[in-house]
Amino acid sequence: MSMSKEIARAKLCLDGKEYELPVLEGTEGERALDIRRLRATTGMVSYDPGVVNTGVCESNITFVDGEKGILRFRGYDIEDLTEHCSFLEVAYLLVHGFLPTPSEYNAFSKLMNLHSMLHEDMRNFFSLYPDHAHPMAILSAMVVSLSTFYPELELDSTEAIDITVARLLSKLRTIAAFSYKKNMGQPIVYPRSDLRYCENFLNMMFHTPVNGYSPDPVITHALNQLLILHADHEQNCSTSVVRTVGSSRANLYASISAGICALWGPLHGGANQRVIEMLESVIKQGLSAATLIERAKDKADPFKLFGFGHRVYKTYDPRAKVAKKICKQVISHMTRTDPLLEIAQELEERAMADAYFQERNLYPNVDFYTGLSYRAMGIPINMFTVMFAIGRLPGWIAQWLEQRDNAENRIVRPRQVYVGPSRRTVAETLNVSTYSHPGKN
């Protein structure tokens, strides 16, 4: 049952016939041509590679206005949430649909602690990966492996889902920290029940037997804000993958594991790692910001200005504005200065003043400044997309649950326009009456 309302009818004229298509309108005035009956009434499918123009679901979770640079989770502006909430409160908001009361928050926090440990047998998995293993590969493999240790999710009960949601939100952080310790050759650090979500993560990452670790409130606050910035973003690539896998009724662990793989790509969440590598190239290879801008504009050059451009935002990504503020605070708190910040700001100024970027509405996106904060926190570059995944997890879960609970959402199975060979036979092709393929017997 559609939640959007029909406000008009569009007419499609084809082969002398006239078809009426409903026009739907969402809460914020977004309008959509309803083509759910298109093939049944016209025999045609729509054609939209990259699904640039096609809404694939109705959703109550996140609203993005790409022209005005608006991002809201369940109606709250991203600026409001990063200013006033913790990441765990926003995770609760996304999954449950409302901000938690203090008692709901405490119960949620207790669930996080209850499920923060990994099954001890999973510790051995880490020792079997090569030292140079990318943490995103480990993350995806470990998440789908959780389904072998916790098979309850096969039951569709609300209680099983709640436990699985808590397990995933809590254990993803533990898996990420364990993979870092493995990478560093340091002893792993177990989660502690006396530390809150972000402090616990930072302690598991940076506590060592020699130096211990004292939580830094500035860094803990910055990490909460950074994770909130990433918590959801409507039907982006990785969320679409999570919904698609979930639409086949695969379990939540399998769906999230697939989403992690989609996020890894450099055009998506992997961009935050590429941004720092791009900024470092200016120093390591003696390039200049001007050179990078020219390369990004050169169609013969596959180089893109990572951290710039967006499928939906045709103005400054509101998350990038907040991330820029955070990175300046973290850098001045941790390292005083970072030459990469100067390069990033010069790149931004040059791009924003350049006709190529202006004509295409290319602005900094969420990935342009976030890596600078992680770098100042001491998080290694190959963990940056892992940080994106930790932030995005509650959004993926909320979208998966919405997909599962909406009777209208069927298994995702797009159509195509076939442009391959027409019918032909092997005999005709080989121009012989009888032919026995060498591989046949």
Measured from the CB atom, the residue of 47 and 435 that comes closer to ligand SDX is 47
Tokens of 67: 């022209």
Tokens of 425: 């036979």
Q: Would you count residue 370 as binding ligand SDX (CB under 6 A)? A: no
Measured from the CB atom, the residue of 178 and 369 that comes closer to ligand SDX is 369
What is the footprint of ligand SDX within residues 321-340 (CB under 6 A)?
none
Q: Would you count residue 396 as binding ligand SDX (CB under 6 A)? A: no
Q: Which of 233, 243, 324, 375 binds ligand SDX (CB under 6 A)?
A: 233
Q: Would you count residue 314 as binding ligand SDX (CB under 6 A)? A: no
Pick the stretch among 98-106, 155-163, 168-176, 307-315 that binds ligand SDX (CB under 6 A): 307-315
Of 358, 359, 360, 271, which Cα lies nearest the Cα of 320?
A: 271
Give the sign of the dihedral formed by CA 99, CA 103, CA 109, CA 114: negative
Helix (H, G, I), strand (E, B) or coil at 355: helix
Measured from the CB atom, the residue of 295 and 404 that comes closer to ligand SDX is 295
Number of residues lying near ligand SDX (CB under 6 A): 21
- Asked if residue 365 lies in contact with residue 355, where contact means CB atoms within 8 angstroms, the answer is no
Which residues are designated catalytic?
Answer: 310, 367
Pick the stretch among 81-89, 264-272, 372-380, 407-415 that binds ligand SDX (CB under 6 A): 264-272
Pick the stretch among 33-41, 263-271, 281-289, 328-336 that binds ligand SDX (CB under 6 A): 263-271
Exposure string of 321-343, with b = 16+ CB inside 10 Å and e = fewer, is bbbbebbbbbbeebeeebebbeb
> CB under 8 Å to 245, separation ≥6 — which residues?
254, 255, 258, 259
Measured from the CB atom, the residue of 206 and 396 that comes closer to ligand SDX is 396
Of 109, 77, 79, which Cα lies nearest the Cα of 92?
A: 109
Q: Which of 95, 271, 322, 331 binds ligand SDX (CB under 6 A)?
A: 271
> CB under 8 Å to 142, separation ≥6 — which residues?
118, 122, 125, 175, 179
Query: Minimum distance from CB of 311 to ligand SDX (Å)?
Result: 4
Q: What's at 211, amino acid-wise?
A: N
Pick the stretch among 87-95, 99-107, 308-316, 330-338 that binds ligand SDX (CB under 6 A): 308-316
Measured from the CB atom, the residue of 145 and 224 that comes closer to ligand SDX is 224
